[in-house]
Amino acid sequence: MNSRCLFSCLLGALFILSAAVGVSAQTGNDEEQYGPVVRAYLGYLKNEQEVVDDRASRHEVNRAYYRRNSNRIRALRQMATRIATDTQNDYLPELEAVAADEFRLILQQPPRSESLRIGEVLQTTFRYLGVVRAGEPFYVFARLDPYEQSELIEKTQITSTNDSGSIANPVQTRPITRARRVTSP
């Protein structure tokens, strides 16, 4: 009788262990479709979630803080995987996810959330990517890289000088090209 009970307990433990290994392998396979940069970013988000979980387990943060930051991490993960899947590229811009009441944290003069359009550039710093509902709506922005920022600033300066009429020191018109990104093999 004891050997039967021991056998059934071992069999149950083996079943649970194999199910857990299968789930972790499936999660790993989900990330295998992405390149090393995207996988590194997803790993970073996983580590951030572990930090938030640890702080919550030590009662260092309240429930609202825990919930909001967990949802923010989930929103960033969803947007990162969406970008990587849509572009089939192993590149992610620096992403920022903010709730509606947090716009002032990243924008000096925040627009109304209803007026945002996907692809719109705000204050020559951020490009609006869309809203992700992860518990609450998070507005996700991509920080423009320095090349994009300087190109955009240059374009706005050229259009503002053209709109002003006569120019004291005319700027030579030259083709605007972006420096090539160098990637190592």
Domain range list for the chain: 11-92, 93-162
Contacts of 161 (CB under 8 A, 6+ apart): 167, 171
Q: How far, CA to CA in Å, does 35 sit from each of 23, 31, 38, 84?
A: 21, 8, 6, 9
d(CA 37, CA 95): 14
Say whether 43 sits in a helix, a strand or coil: helix
Per-residue pLDDT reduced to its tens digit, 14-50: 566 565 555 444 445 577 899 999 999 999 999 999 9
d(CA 76, CA 184): 27
The model carries a pTM of 0.68
The answer to whether 71 and 136 are in contact (CB under 8 A) is yes
